[in-house]
Amino acid sequence: MPSEETIVSQIKDLLSNHPNINIDILFLYVPEFKILHNIIEEDEIIQGYCIGLLEGSKEKLSPGKWLVLLTNKRFHLVQNPIMRSSHQHIPLEFSNIKKITTKLGWFFGQIQFVTPDNTIRMLQIGRKDYSFFLPYLKDFL
């Protein structure tokens, strides 16, 4: 399990070309970032992230914002609501993903992950988050 400092460093590296994003504010308002050190493995490297709403075809997912994190090994879908004592984590292994599709509307983007047993859609991704995350998905599209 990596340290919190390692996670902060990896996120800072991602945001090096985005000086208008303050990492302190990001960690303050997105509680999922604070628990990533408990979720990802030591040898995983964060390659991208985005935030939106999540819905699944097979299971009922908690309402509210979710963080989709792309590492060099898998996708992580993470929710850490303030009003609950525990977080939710859904790892998506690359080998289990059959297809990823993206769609951009006027204001929001959408990403759909298709696995053999479920379809998970991330909705209402802000245009800036969507355009930030899309280049990292090129290998999967």
Domain that holds residue 15: 4-137
pLDDT at 45: 95
pLDDT at 8: 93
Neighbours of 85 (CB within 10 A): 5
pTM: 0.92
> How many domains does the chain fold into?
1
Q: How confident is the model at residue 19 (pLDDT cuts 50, 70, 90)?
A: confident
Element at 38 (helix H, strand E): helix 36-39
Could you read off the pLDDT of 84-115 as tens digits, one per residue? 778 899 999 999 999 999 999 999 999 999 99
Mean pLDDT of all residues belonging to the chain: 91
The region that residue 3 occupies, defined by phi over 0 for left and psi between -120 and 50 for alpha, beta otherwise, is: beta
CATH number at residue 72: 2.30.29.30
How far is it, in rounded angstroms, from Cα 61 to Cα 15? 29
